[in-house]
Structure 1
C-alpha cells in the first residue's frame, strides 16, 4: 500500500503529515525507474497532465516506500521547487532515500537546463543531510532517468 500525504499545520503551526489517499502497490519495492513511472502514471495520471506536477517518493534504506508527496503544480512548462519543502517532508517521514519525478506536458523528456540545476541542488542538499536523491525522473512520452543516465 502506497500512501499519499499532504502537509498541514497543527495548532502550534508545526508541520504534520496527513494521509490524503492510498493506492494499491502490487510491487512494494519500487526499485527501478520503470516501476516508479508505471505507478505515477497509473495512480496520478502524470503522463496525461496538462501542467507540470512534481512528486517526491520517500523510501527507507531497503527501498520500501514510506509515502508520496505532491511537491508542486505549475504551468505548462515550469513548476517552482524548493529544497526546504522537499527535505522537510523527507525528514518528517523518516526517509533515507528520495526520488523526485515530474512531467513535461510537451511529452519531450529531454532535461532542460533548469532540470539539471534543480537535480544538482537537490542532490547536493541531500548529501549534507544524508538523504540520497536516488533518481530524478522526467515523465512524458516515455521517461528520462538521471540515475540510468548517470547524471546524479
Structure 2
C-alpha cells in the first residue's frame, strides 16, 4: 500500500489552507485495524521510539480503516508536545477522514499516560463526536512498548475518565 504524508499549507493570498503531499512510500500493510500495526509503522518509518523530543502524528482513516494520510501535528520538547483540536480536525476534514488516531512518543521510553495525555484524549474524543469523526485510538510509543487507550486495560482512560 502507498502511504502519503501531508503538510497543511496556508495560501498567503487567499488565506485558505490546503493539503500538500510531503512524501509517499510503500508499506506492506493495507489496513490498520489494530494498534500494533501502527506502532510498527511509526517505529520503522519515523523512528518514533528513539526520538529525543516528543512528536505527535495524526493518522486519518476511511470507514474501512484504510489509511488516507499521516500528518506530523506537533514537534515538542523533551517532555511535552501541544495538540490543538482545531489543527487535528482541520486536517482530518480536508482529507475526508471518518476516523482518526493520534500517536505520540514519550522520550522517557515508558508508554505510561500522563494526566495531560488523559485530558487531551478526552478533548479530542469530544470534539470528534461533534464533527462525526471517531477517535479510534490514542497511542503512546515508548522504546520497546506502546500503550493503546483503546486496549482492554485502558478502557477507563479511553472513555475520558481520569485515573484515581
Cα deviation 1:12-42 (Å, max 9, x = unaligned): 1111100000121211101110000100111
Q: Which residue of 1 aligns with 2:8?
A: 7
Q: Which residue of 2 aligns with 1:143?
A: 146
Q: Which residue of 2 aligns with 1:80?
A: 82
Query: Distance between the aligned counterparts of 2:148 and 2:58, measured in 1?
Result: 14
- Stretches of structure 1 that go unaligned for 5 or more consecutive residues are none
Helix, strand or coil: the match of 2:94? helix
- Stretches of structure 2 that go unaligned for 5 or more consecutive residues are 159-164
TM-score in terms of structure 1 length: 0.98
Q: How many residues are matched?
A: 152
Query: Distance between the aligned counterparts of 1:75 and 1:120, measured in 2?
Result: 22
Equivalent in 54, 60, 63 of residue 61 of structure 1: 63
Q: Which has the larger radius of gyration?
A: 2
Query: Distance between the aligned counterparts of 2:76 and 2:146, measured in 1?
Result: 19
Q: What are the equivalent positions in structure 2 for 1:69-108 lying under 5 Å apart?
A: 69-108=71-110
CA contact (8 A) 1:23 1:43 kept: no
CA contact (8 A) 1:30 1:63 kept: yes
Deviation at 1:9, TM superposition (A): 1.5
Equivalent in 5, 22, 25 of residue 24 of structure 2: 22
TM-score in terms of structure 2 length: 0.91
Helix, strand or coil: the match of 1:89? helix
Query: Distance between the aligned counterparts of 2:26 and 2:51, measured in 1?
Result: 21
Query: Distance between the aligned counterparts of 2:140 and 2:25, measured in 1?
Result: 21
Helix, strand or coil: the match of 2:38? helix
Query: Distance between the aligned counterparts of 2:27 and 2:133, measured in 1?
Result: 23
Query: Distance between the aligned counterparts of 2:26 and 2:119, measured in 1?
Result: 34
